[in-house]
Amino acid sequence: MSKRPLEEPIQPPKLSKSGEAAAEIKVTTKRQKNSSSEWTPSSWTTKPIKQEVVYNDLAKVQKALAKLEQLPPIVTPTEIIKLRKSLRDVALGKAFLLQGGDCAELFDYCEENAIESKIKLLLQMSLVLIWGANRPVVRIARMAGQYAKPRSSPTEMHEGNEIPSFRGDILNGYAVEDRTPDPARLVSAYYHSAATLNFIRASLASGIADLHSPLDWELGHVKDEKIRAQYTRIVDSITESLQFMRTVGADSSASGLETVDLYTSHEGLLLEYEQSLTRRLKHPPSHPAFLPARVSSDQQVNGHQESASDGKGWYNTSAHFLWIGDRTRQLTGAHVEYFRGLENPIGIKVGPTMTSPELIALLDVVNPPKDIGKVTLITRYGEHKIASLLPDHIEAVKESGHVVVWQCDPMHGNTKSTPSGVKTRQFSSILSEVSSALRIHREQSSFLGGVHLELTGDAVTECVGGSEGLTEGDLSVNYTTYCDPRLNEKQSLEMAFLVAGHYRDEKRA
């Protein structure tokens, strides 16, 4: 049965008396934790916060967070630093970043076929991009933790009644009767994330990405003969190259052909959860030679003197890569405060309301040493606004001395609703913003380092357009998202071909 997001109201929320009391308890508790200006994993609690969650039972929240603090890391410092070094290459134009996955990941997506379909789609897309851009592709999935979603209001109207908005499986359920935030979901989110990443690792280790047998990557529901023919030509070209390597004996040590790196990411929205999985861990041998954390050597952390030479840093172990959303990027807010202390590479969503001075101030706060590639700027303007906003942002970043990864998110600025209230996105608008980003970066002597897409490996009907010719009348066929519309597997692969085609054409010019 098709599912459609409930409409979000434009009126301000009306909290119950019990909700107001819970909020007051939460704020008081937070203010008692840390009153200094120094960074610790909990120093965000001294700052104003957006998208705050109000729970009815504080004792259950503390129990859930205590459990999370005892659980082992989901990702490791070695993996995090490896990604950070790869993103440095992206920032320097030596690699391309492909990031994609569900808008709002559900616990039900922690299932073999759902995970495998996304892995295969990202592998297919990266293969096309490697062919087009002639450079390595860094793959980051919006998986294994993308369970929290920001909303424009904490409540919405449903059948004439005001109910809490669905804010992701980590907080509440989509069913109307499950909308009260439940602290037990915090621990459940950890286990679903860990299980998802475990299956990803096992699949990659078992050869799902082995380039010796690329034809095992089925195209699924993709029926378009032109796209299929393009993909087949690429696969044939790779197969011929591999056959030549086998013939001359050059593939005997080419273990890199049998697997790939696939990293995980999510929006770092729910800071209580993120703090509980933030650990002070030993740097791996590959850690670059710079100060490990966003604190100086003479600051106090956790009540003791810390030295930059102790060989440790603060790692968020819930994912390899986290980003700050456009709704929570306040310069003096809780989310920026939390993110500034992490060793992880981080992203910042850059929307139409971001001014150039604010952007540079943010970069200075989260990355004072100006480490190359530490920050990914994920631009999300909309197809009609990008031309007036992106050039100034590029120029400002250049003048600041920061070297960032520029990534285009063509999804969030191009969302619209049909007359019947169904949210959708037009494929041509998504492509238009990506094409504009490619052109503007070239004109500014910059380069687009990557794309950030909401997509799924299933044959959903949520975005209209593309070579399949989906119309608004087709949306009800298989509209399954619980939040924002996603590109289906066919539209995603088509987008990869179009981006790759741009790079091929640029080389010929």
454 is in an annotated binding site: yes
Measured torsion, CA atoms of residues 128, 134, 136, 138, in degrees rounded to the nearest 10: -50
3-state secondary structure of 163: strand
- Pull the structure tokens for residue 364: 């200075």
Nearest to 83 by CA among 407, 340, 321: 321
In Å, how far from its chain's centre is CA 477?
A: 27
17 is in an annotated binding site: no
Nearest to 85 by CA among 253, 283, 362: 283
Whether 349 and 51 have beta carbons less than 8 Å apart is answered as no
CA distance 54 to 263: 31
Whether 376 and 409 have beta carbons less than 8 Å apart is answered as no
CA distance 455 to 125: 11
- Pull the structure tokens for residue 319: 């994912």
CA distance 482 to 72: 30
CA distance 454 to 445: 28
454 phi and psi angles, rounded to 5 deg: -95, 120
Q: Tell me the C-alpha to C-alpha distance, in Å, between residue 129 and each of 66, 82, 248.
A: 43, 21, 27
395 is in an annotated binding site: no
Look-up of token digits 């621990």: 187
CA distance 172 to 60: 15
Ramachandran quadrant class, 249 (left: phi over 0; alpha: psi -120 to 50; beta: rest): left
Q: Within 10 Å of residue 177's Cβ, how many Cβ atoms? A: 7
Kindly report the length of the chain: 509
Q: Within 10 Å of residue 218's Cβ, how many Cβ atoms? A: 10
89 is in an annotated binding site: no
CA distance 194 to 68: 12
Whether 167 and 186 have beta carbons less than 8 Å apart is answered as no
CA distance 186 to 123: 30
142 is in an annotated binding site: yes
Q: Tell me the C-alpha to C-alpha distance, in Å, between residue 45 and each of 298, 329, 403.
A: 22, 15, 30
Q: What residues form the annotated binding site for phosphoenolpyruvate? A: 142, 349, 380
Q: What residues form the annotated binding site for Mn(2+)? A: 103, 412, 454, 484
Q: What residues form the annotated binding site? A: 103, 142, 349, 380, 412, 454, 484
